[in-house]
Amino acid sequence: DTGVSQNPRHKITKRGQNVTFRCDPISEHNRLYWYRQTLGQGPEFLTYFQNEAQLEKSRLLSDRFSAERPKGSFSTLEIQRTEQGDSAMYLCASSSLAGGLRGTQYFGPGTRLTVL
Amino acid sequence: GDSVTQMEGPVTLSEEAFLTINCTYTATGYPSLFWYVQYPGEGLQLLLKATKADDKGSNKGFEATYRKETTSFHLEKGSVQVSDSAVYFCAPTLGGGSQGNLIFGKGTKLSVKP
């Protein structure tokens, strides 16, 4: 088990540019979650997938945000026309629907986005 | 709506002191309850969990008991170490059940002095 990985770890961009982040979950985990964490706060839920289906989106996820999980494995989160308020740590987590640890979410190291 | 209230920090303790971090929640249904820890410069790590009333989760000397009647999940450790310095997050699952997305508290920063 290699854990959840995220790339890139850091991204600095200019306001108005598009950015894309990638998350590779623990293999065979059915569910994949995206959260956003700003400084001094706890993570806030953005969206989650069960296999390739996006089942829930938070109202925090404006229409500039889009997430995909095309084959039920890795996922991408794209932010279009970035704004300074998008600066945050973007966290990915995955969980299994089966087994003794079902429902337990395991987090990746995050991608820190800075919008200048 | 569902929410979680966590003891505000920062909390500063001397090594070997007793630690309690309070956490209460409001949630529909029957949530699972988690504590996550974030060490400086690192990602969120699962510390412990409990999935039903009166369950006690434990790990690394930390414990928390699922108290349904008081909707609480307080974190305790009998003797903290400098290496326990971190931010601790209480997180029930949203909407009840064991597999919903998590609602996080604001986190409690713990500093342990030698």
pLDDT at position B24, please? 95
Across the interface, do A42 and B89 touch by the CB < 8 Å criterion? Answer: yes
- A-chain residues within 8 Å CB-CB of B34? 104-105
B61 pLDDT higher than 70:
yes
**CB-based contact, A42 to chain B, within 8 Å:** yes
**CB-based contact, B3 to chain A, within 8 Å:** no
Across the interface, do A91 and B102 touch by the CB < 8 Å criterion? Answer: no
Contact A84, A96 (CB under 8 A): no
In angstroms, the Cα distances linking A7 to A68, A90, A109, B17 are 15, 10, 9, 39
Contact B50, A3 (CB under 8 A): no
Burial class (CB within 10 angstroms; exposed 0-12, middle 13-18, buried 19+) of A4: buried
A100 pLDDT higher than 70:
no
A1 pLDDT higher than 80:
no
The structure tokens listed for A68 are 């995909």
Model confidence band, residue B98 (pLDDT cutoffs 50, 70, 90):
low
A-contacting residues in B 69-108 (Cβ below 8 Å) = 89, 91, 93-94, 98-99, 101-107
- B-chain residues within 8 Å CB-CB of A93? 44
Q: Are strands B108-113 and B11-14 parallel, antiparallel or unpaired?
A: parallel
Across the interface, do A41 and B45 touch by the CB < 8 Å criterion? Answer: no
Least confident range of A6-10, B28-32, B59-63 = B28-32
Over pLDDT 90: what percentage of chain B? 73
pLDDT at position B9, please? 85
DSSP state of B17: -
Mean pLDDT for chain A overall:
92
Contact B6, B21 (CB under 8 A): yes
Give the C-alpha separation, B30 to A18, whole Å: 40
pLDDT at position A56, please? 87
